[in-house]
């Protein structure tokens, strides 16, 4: 149980880090090209959310295979574990996105 909690917390911080790091470095690139960094930062954050999920889970094929094995093998615990991992990755990515919205002074839709 402790290992699962450790993995969930790591997934949250990894996906949040992908969003924050990717958008901050990406906006630096927009400064060099003469574009507004605030706008490009928010645009990049929206585009990077799915990649933050994939990165935090360590690749989607292992997760999809585990879900398939859980459904076909009658192991609902494995399916629930994978669902928690996906949710924690999404939670971290969305938290990073909301942080950037707050930083830019934008309101969430």
28-64: pLDDT as tens digits: 988 898 888 888 888 888 899 888 888 887 766 777 7
Show me where the domains of the chain are located: 2-104
Question: Does the pLDDT at position 4 exceed 80?
Answer: yes
Cα separation, 54 vs 86, in Å, equals 9
Cβ atoms of 108 and 98 within 8 Å: the answer is yes
What's the pLDDT band for 108 if we cut at 50, 70, 90?
low
Cα separation, 93 vs 19, in Å, equals 6
């Amino acid at each position: 149980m402790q290992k699962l909690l450790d993995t969930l917390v790591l997934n949250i911080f990894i996906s949040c880090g992908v969003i924050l790091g990717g958008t901050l470095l990406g906006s630096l690139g927009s400064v060099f090209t003469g574009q507004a960094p605030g706008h490009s930062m928010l645009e990049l954050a929206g585009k990077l959310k799915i990649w933050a999920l994939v990165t935090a889970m360590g690749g989607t094929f292992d997760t999809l295979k585990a879900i398939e094995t859980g459904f076909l093998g009658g192991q609902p615990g494995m399916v629930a574990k994978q669902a928690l991992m996906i949710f924690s990755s999404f939670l971290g990515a969305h938290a990073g996105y909301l942080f950037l919205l707050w930083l830019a002074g934008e309101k969430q839709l």
